[in-house]
Amino acid sequence: MESSVWLKNTSHAIYISDLSISVKIKLDFVSTNKRSNLYNERFLLEYLSLSMGILFFTMGQFEFFDMLRAKRLVQIILLFVVAIIGFSVWWKHFLLPFRQPLYLLIFLFIFSELFRFDVKSALEMITTLFLVALIFTMAPKYSNLVLKVIIVIACIFSILGIIEAWILVANPELLDHTTIFLIQPVKEGEYFINHPIAYLGMTPGQVRSFFGLEIPRMQSFLREPGLIPVYFLIPGVLALTYKGPIKLASIPLIFFSMLGFTGTVYLSIIFAVFYFMLRVFVARKKERILSVAALSIVLVSLITIHWTDFAYDIAFLMYRNDAFLENISNVEFLDRYGTTVGRLDELPDFMEEASGPGGSSGKIPAFVGLVMFGFFKGNIIGMFLVILVLFQLFQTSSALYIKKKVFAGVCPMICGIYMQVGMFSLYGFTSASGYMITALTLMRLRNCME
């Protein structure tokens, strides 16, 4: 009897032991499967971030891939990769980007293009909308990776541009071989290059004299130097928010930005200094006052420039003071300024066209600034959304600046850049690359707050 009981208990023990081993094997299999899925997902997201970082240099007015006659091919491949991988990220959080004024602004511009039956522009804006949505829905780790890829690539091109500048200083006769006006497209997307130095970058063919040393204006592979803030200056400033090699990349990026000798860069620096003075003398430790003051300056300046004769008065004084202008500029600047003043006469026409539901149908000049661009493109709603985007940037930057969570010069420069963009020159900021760098700037500033 005792023997039969012992055998019965033993059989139960063996069964329970086998069951526990089976459960353990199943749990180990599930755990391994989860780790494998997480690894695959992480790999795909890293690949997506890398693709978006490279795509940044193909979606705007960066001509490097045009010179290699590969821009369209690279765009198609990268967009295909981003669409396949990115959709799996976006659809889970597709409502999240609607909280962002920048996303709503692009959405509004799509309707504006469709209303005017501009299908090509509408498709470009839809692509932009998707890329910006991905940036807003990505985890901070991957949005940071996109930005780091952009910083590294821009750093490489900036180093090439600095090397080219030194070569041109020593051999000024090579300047003509780099001039963008001579390296004209043979046809759409194809360039004729007659000297290897052009592969280091293009120039507008102008020089600036410092103590007898003639330094050429640089622009890398940009269509014009005014685009430098989008592709070099902002990545250089944001590089200062990181540590290690990425932070060191800010040195060539900012230095190259200065070699462009463009008003968009120097005006940004002036506004950065002005923002610093607001911080010291007005706002002190009140971030809301600082951000509101920065936005108020933008709006008051726009009203002064576009609804009064202030711009014409300045033009008259500049033309009259020839002796002063000869010391700080050249004839080309005078001609360009005269052209800009001439365009001011066209603003009433844009204002009248913008009153319709589709916004202005003409090509909006870049000198009007981002706030007025929003009005011309999307009426009062477009202007309001642009103001919200600027306020977000100013508010986050001000909070970081007062709490001293990043390098001291980062926040004034970011605010200075976007104050300039809001009021004066929006070169590049209304392209896909411009919207991407603005979204990445917002995300990076927010990540620094955490």
CA neighbor of 138 nearest in space, from 440, 434, 392: 440
What is the mean pLDDT of the segment spanning 92-110?
85
* DSSP SS3 for 111: helix
Give the model's pLDDT for residue 141.
92
- Least confident range from 30-39, 67-76, 299-308, 315-324: namely 315-324
- Least confident range from 2-6, 54-58, 60-64, 250-254: namely 2-6
Angle at 215 between CA 185 and CA 340, to 5 degrees: 60
- What are the phi and psi torsion angles at 9 (to 5°)? -65, -40
CB-based burial, 182-219: b 16+ in 10 Å, e otherwise: ebeeeeebebeeeeebbebbbbbeebeeeeeeeebbbb
Q: Say if residue 274's pLDDT is above 70.
A: yes
180-202 pLDDT per residue, tens: 654 454 455 456 677 788 888 88
- Report whether 153 contacts 51 (CB < 8 A): no
Q: Angle, nearest 10°, between helix axes 101-115 and 432-449?
A: 160
What is the mean pLDDT of the segment spanning 247-264?
93
Amino acid at 125: M
Q: Comparing 372 with 359, which gets the higher pLDDT? A: 372
- Tabulate helix, strand, coil % of the chain (nearest 5): 75, 5, 20
Give the model's pLDDT for residue 327.
47
Q: Angle, nearest 10°, between helix axes 432-449 and 119-137?
A: 20
Q: How confident is the model at residue 103 (pLDDT cuts 50, 70, 90)?
A: very high
Here the tokens at position 148 are: 């780091």
- Least confident range from 144-153, 228-237, 244-253, 351-360: namely 351-360
In what helix (H) or strand (E) does residue 310 lie, and over which residues does it extend?
A: helix 310-320
What is the mean pLDDT of the segment spanning 69-95?
84
How many angstroms separate the most distant Cα atoms in the chain?
122
- Report whether 441 contacts 397 (CB < 8 A): no
pTM: 0.83
Give the model's pLDDT for residue 346.
54
Here the tokens at position 203 are: 């120039």
Q: Say if residue 286's pLDDT is above 90.
A: no
What percent of the chain is predicted at pLDDT more than 70? 74
203-227 pLDDT per residue, tens: 888 888 777 788 898 999 998 888 9
Q: How confident is the model at residue 389 (pLDDT cuts 50, 70, 90)?
A: very high
Give the model's pLDDT for residue 187.
53
Give the model's pLDDT for residue 172.
87
Residue-averaged pLDDT of the chain: 79
Q: Say if residue 242's pLDDT is above 70.
A: yes
Give the model's pLDDT for residue 332.
42
Highest mean predicted confidence (pLDDT) among 87-91, 116-120, 324-328, 383-387? 383-387
Give the model's pLDDT for residue 324.
46
Among all chains, which residue has been given the structure tokens 């960066």? 62
Q: How confident is the model at residue 303 (pLDDT cuts 50, 70, 90)?
A: confident
Give the model's pLDDT for residue 30.
47
Give the model's pLDDT for residue 228.
95
Q: Say if residue 75's pLDDT is above 70.
A: yes
Q: Comparing 143 with 1, which gets the higher pLDDT? A: 143
Angle at 328 between CA 205 and CA 266, to 5 degrees: 75
